[in-house]
Amino acid sequence: MRNSATHHRDLRTGQSIWSAKRRPAIAIKRLTRTVRCDVAVVGAGISGALIAEGLSEAGLSVVILDRRGPLLGSTPASTAMLQYELDTPLCQMAERIGRDRAERIWRRSRLAVDALRERTERLGIRADTATRGSIYLDGNVLDASGLAEEADARRRAGFEVELIPPAVVKERYGIGGRHAIIGFGNYSADPRKLAAGYLNIALARGARLYAPVEVCAVDAGDGGVTLETASGPQVRADQVVMASGYEMLKGIPRLGNTIISSWSIATAPQPRNLWPTEAMIWEASDPYLYIRTTPRGEVICGGEDEEIADADERDARIDAKTRTLTRKLGRLLPMIDPTPVHAWAGSFGNSPVGTPTIGRIPKMPNCYAAMGYGGNGITFSMMAAQMLRGLITGKGDPDSDLVSFHRDF
């Protein structure tokens, strides 16, 4: 086989709560001859789906390519807490990159989650979605006074938050001994159904999805881009978007992005045991724990991230990590049964400030990337869809400097 343009990774192991269900149907084509289009999108996960749908709505002809097939990369491993609240607290991000830029990223993240919810509803995509608040607990990254500082930083940036002491956290949610910031308006979904919904809408507008197609080389020029594929036929496009997830384009500037590992579990449905409001729970801790429910009342819990890039090492820890997550989940939420019926592991991204990289790839004319995702991956996929639509159609985007390859953080 010819070399690939992107790195190869074993992205996930085990059966996620979504993979246990039937895979949504998506019409794929075989690439048997050279094809042309306005924009070629490499990757048919949630990023490629959102980007392709947005570009097809803008009237562009779109071709989507995937080496595995749609929804077979990282997307089915996601716990899909679609939060505007970023993993890096606003007060800490402000110290690292300045208050103005930190506030802009946080606000843009809020807009991305709102837009994802509004668009998903407007397009009639059924993806077991829910709008949920959040309970952000103190931990070893932000203690009680750090949490108060974070609440002030968020209020100042215009976000609605509530800071509550342990007695109120206990009374309201049954969680003992922790301070919390309460947030509002996050979103959750079945990530496979969500991505399939967006892909199918793009296809209904005339986009074409070819798979399996291994993109081996990207020959970029001022007049357009040619993608060489392992099976021979080329894809010729005016512009190309690399939405290849944690399998990044080789030779691309990484801006400090690294690959780490994350583990997750899901319980059986238990709608009667759940905490009031079913708000998403997460911690200002490292490693952290995060918890959400599904519309059927299953509890999903993830975290315990470690700086492990090797898939064998990641998988060797599934049993131990499952036990740790189960124990921590049961201890935090005594009202639920934490016994897992699904356990899985996935590769995950990390970046110095927790921000993604979205925009024109340096020294590759007409090529764009959407990459460098961490815990807010799907929020950033939506941000990428909005920004790349603006850049590709020539309208621009007022926040693209915050995530471009040329930023200085």
Q: By the 8 A CB rule, do 120 and 109 touch?
A: no
| Minimum distance from residue 397 beta carbon to ligand FAD (Å) | 19
Instruction: Choose between 78 and 400: whose C-beta lies nearer to ligand FAD.
Output: 78
Instruction: Choose between 72 and 153: whose C-beta lies nearer to ligand FAD.
Output: 72
247's CB contacts (< 8 A; 6+ apart) are: 6, 7, 8, 9, 11, 73
| Minimum distance from residue 162 beta carbon to ligand FAD (Å) | 22
Q: By the 8 A CB rule, do 31 and 42 touch?
A: no
Instruction: Choose between 164 and 300: whose C-beta lies nearer to ligand FAD.
Output: 300
C-alpha to C-alpha distances, 135 to 80, 262, 324, nearest whole angstrom: 16, 21, 21
| Minimum distance from residue 275 beta carbon to ligand FAD (Å) | 18
Instruction: Choose between 120 and 163: whose C-beta lies nearer to ligand FAD.
Output: 120
Instruction: Choose between 178 and 342: whose C-beta lies nearer to ligand FAD.
Output: 342
Name the nearest CA neighbour of 205 among 66, 71, 59: 59
| Minimum distance from residue 306 beta carbon to ligand FAD (Å) | 12
Instruction: Choose between 148 and 217: whose C-beta lies nearer to ligand FAD.
Output: 217
Instruction: Choose between 163 and 374: whose C-beta lies nearer to ligand FAD.
Output: 374
53's CB contacts (< 8 A; 6+ apart) are: 123, 198, 199, 201, 202, 385
| Minimum distance from residue 76 beta carbon to ligand FAD (Å) | 8
Instruction: Choose between 24 and 43: whose C-beta lies nearer to ligand FAD.
Output: 43
Instruction: Choose between 77 and 353: whose C-beta lies nearer to ligand FAD.
Output: 77
Q: By the 8 A CB rule, do 150 and 106 touch?
A: no
Q: By the criterion CB under 6 A, which residues form the site for ligand FAD? A: 4-6, 11, 42-48, 65-68, 72-75, 77-82, 213-215, 243-245, 247, 262, 264, 302, 346, 348, 373, 375-379, 381
Helix/strand/coil for 247: coil
Name the nearest CA neighbour of 384 among 241, 252, 282: 241
Instruction: Choose between 3 and 145: whose C-beta lies nearer to ligand FAD.
Output: 3
What's the CA gap between 43 and 22, in Å, rounded?
21
The first and second tokens of residue 14, run together, are 């085990």
Instruction: Choose between 163 and 305: whose C-beta lies nearer to ligand FAD.
Output: 305
| Minimum distance from residue 128 beta carbon to ligand FAD (Å) | 14
The first and second tokens of residue 220, run together, are 């970029």
- Core vs surface per residue 15-26: b (16+ CB within 10 A) or e: ebbbbeeeebeb
| Minimum distance from residue 6 beta carbon to ligand FAD (Å) | 4
| Minimum distance from residue 2 beta carbon to ligand FAD (Å) | 11
| Minimum distance from residue 320 beta carbon to ligand FAD (Å) | 16
DSSP 42-54: E--SHHHHHHHHH
What's the CA gap between 183 and 131, in Å, rounded?
12
Cα distance between the two ends of the chain: 37
| Minimum distance from residue 214 beta carbon to ligand FAD (Å) | 5
What's the CA gap between 227 and 244, in Å, rounded?
14
| Minimum distance from residue 135 beta carbon to ligand FAD (Å) | 15
Name the nearest CA neighbour of 6 among 209, 217, 228: 217
List strand residue ranges (DSSP E) for 245-285, in order: 258-267, 280-283
Q: By the 8 A CB rule, do 263 and 254 touch?
A: no
Q: Which single residue is written with the structure tokens 């990590």? A: 321
